[in-house]
Amino acid sequence: MAQFVLAIDQGTTGSTVALMDARGKLRASVNVEFPQIYPHPGWVEHNPADIWASVGKGIRAILRKNICKPTDIACIGITNQRETSLLWDNRSGEALNNAIVWQCRRTTQFCEALRAAGHEKKVRRKTGLVLDPYFSASKFRWLLNNTSGIAHLLKGGHVAAGTIDSYLIWRLTGGAAHVTDVSNASRTSLMNLKSGHWDQYLLDLFEVPRSILPTIVPSSAVLGHTRGVPGLPDGIPISGVAGDQQAALFGQACFAQGDAKCTFGTGSFILMNTGAEILHSNAGLLTTVAWQLGENGKRVYALEGGAFVCGAAVQWLRDGLQIIKHAPDIEALALQVPDHGGVEFVPALTGLGAPHWSPDARGTLTGLTRGTARGHIARATLDAMALQNADILRAMESDLGKRMRPLRVDGGAAANNLLMQIQADVLGRRLIRPQVIETTVAGACYLAGLGVGLWQSTAEVKAIWQAEREFSVQITAAARRKRQASWNTALQRTLL
């Protein structure tokens, strides 16, 4: 009997393919990077062919490890960078343009025009999202207005639109399934949170034809079967799909209302499970769908706050300033100094997300003196990663009207012990790090396994999850307030 789950985690800078066994143990993973494309300042693109090639390369590499036979794979789970949007020819699968990445700000002017025309309140009530170029709807509109030959293709019914999950499922099924799960659909600004369907008012507002969009389906159910994928037999069910942050929430076993996690990736994203309740924020946060288990399952909702630049700030130190050779080197460099030495780095390299929502903000590095060393800049970068998360969490507590439970952390940068201690200190909350840091992969596996009955319930999944380390607060409240005040000053300069 097939006892392995194959997970595809299609991220912003690369694709990870992993194998999990029926006991919930990640047996192996392979990451394949692909190029980032920056045509203009503030624009970010991916070539969909590069994405698909990276997934194929990852699948072949994981199978070469000989952990299991391809016929031992019970199901496939997918998790993905969310708002990234593309169009493709539904006959050939060829992309009609580069994908517009979630970080891209090219539609800022259009979103501002909608806001000025008074549409934001209704959009927010229907979608739980703010009017911002971050989300997919304005990206779809831009692609429809700027793709050569699109009118002819639309007339012939040959255009398919979707986020990356839709594109991967379409390719994995040989074009048989054009679907998106409800968590990804909730990030487009085109889905009504209450109904779980595409909303005609939103489709008209963003000028997106319903006919090109995928069918919205549950996050855990059989959504299609493999066909013509090199290295894989036909007929493997694709049974779990969720946007990367929702997958991480599921992978952290945050199944109870009030459970929360923070994923440290390219950006940092905090989600809190609000159960069946659609909780709208008064503090600049987003309301989103967390997941839906099965065709008849209830939708679970979440509050979310995200910082656009987290690990990407470390990549900038590596690639832009070249003060470190490898991303993990930042911890040792930051430990060379006792603190940030007055240096403040606000990493608004692609604007500011929650709770500020300032797409035109640009990064600032302040407080430099003759005594500033590389270590101070490294420490200020780690501090900034933690401080912008603390801003989001305080906004979340304001919406909740109560203190949060201990925060579960994951993602690549969660392996940085110094960063985790800084986060606990500036937040004033205990942090819990799981044994499996890459919980986006774990969440995709759990959703897929539940979708085919490899696991029978979330209780069974929760029994698999285990903590690896906890980080307790080690500074005083007074020290926390002082650190926050310095950060606030730098932040206000950035927002001017």
For residues 466 and 356, which has the higher predicted lDDT (pLDDT)?
466
**Token pair recorded at residue 182:** 């409800």
3-state class (DSSP) for residue 284: coil
pLDDT category of residue 393 using cuts at 50, 70 and 90? confident
Mean pLDDT of 305-327: 90
Q: In what order do the strands lie in the sheet with 299-307?
A: 286-292, 299-307, 268-275, 260-264, 407-410, 431-434, 467-471
- Rounded CA-CA distance 109/112 in Å is 5
One DSSP character per residue, 80-134 reads: E-SS-EEEEETTT--BSSPEEPTT--TTHHHHHHHHHTT-HHHHHHHHS--S-TT
State the helix-helix crossing angle for 120-127 and 108-116, rounded to 10 degrees.
110
Q: Which pLDDT value is given to residue 379?
A: 96
Q: Which pLDDT value is given to residue 1?
A: 58
Q: In what order do the strands lie in the sheet with 99-100?
A: 45-46, 99-100, 85-89, 159-163
Which of these, 209, 224, 145, lies nearest to 177 by C-alpha position?
Answer: 224
Q: Which domains does the chain have, with CATH numbers?
A: 4-252 (3.30.420.40)
pLDDT digits (tens, 9 = 90+) for 180-208: 999 999 999 999 999 999 999 999 999 99
CB 163 within 8 Å of CB 183: no
pLDDT digits (tens, 9 = 90+) for 253-304: 999 888 889 988 888 889 999 899 898 888 788 999 999 999 888 999 999 9
Q: 55-59, 306-310, 414-418: which range is least confident on average?
A: 306-310
Q: Sign of the C-alpha dihedral, residues 106, 112, 118, 122?
A: positive
Mean pLDDT of 392-404: 81
Q: Please, is 401 exposed, middle or buried when counting C-beta atoms within 10 Å of its C-beta (0-12, 13-18, 19+)? A: exposed
**Token pair recorded at residue 273:** 């499970």
3-state class (DSSP) for residue 323: coil
Maximum pairwise Cα distance, the chain: 66
Phi, psi (rounded to 5 degrees) for 87: -120, 145
Which of these, 16, 28, 164, 78, lies nearest to 444 by C-alpha position?
Answer: 78
| Residue percentage of the chain with pLDDT more than 70 | 100
Q: Which pLDDT value is given to residue 404?
A: 77
